[in-house]
Amino acid sequence: MVQSDMPQSRNGKPKQVITTILKDLDRLRAGSTIKVPLTELAESKEKVRSPLSRATREASRKVATASDTSYLLRVERKRVARASR
């Protein structure tokens, strides 16, 4: 196998969803929430939460995820406290 044929990154099935969520987070104010219905996901919430967590950690983003029965995947951008002078 030639090196150019080797995968260079994690481009799995949920990549499109992860990319969309990250772009949506860029447009939010701190403390805002994105609610993603499970019916809109091609993969299970478990298969989306793990790569989302990895992508936000690699980008040093302050994001928390949670789920409930109404909004099966919710992504919240945490508020970042500013240092006072």
Average pLDDT value for the chain: 77
Q: Is residue 53 part of a domain?
A: yes
User: If pLDDT is split at 50, 70 and 90, which confidence band does 43 have?
Assistant: confident
pLDDT of 36 strictly over 60: yes
Closest CA to 48 of 24, 13, 8, 22: 13
Q: Is residue 61 part of a domain?
A: yes
Q: What's the mean pLDDT in 44-67?
A: 84
**Domain count of the fold of the chain:** 1
User: If pLDDT is split at 50, 70 and 90, which confidence band does 35 have?
Assistant: confident
What pLDDT shows up at residue 72?
Answer: 63
Which domain covers residue 56, as residue numbers? 47-78
Q: What's the mean pLDDT in 13-23?
A: 84
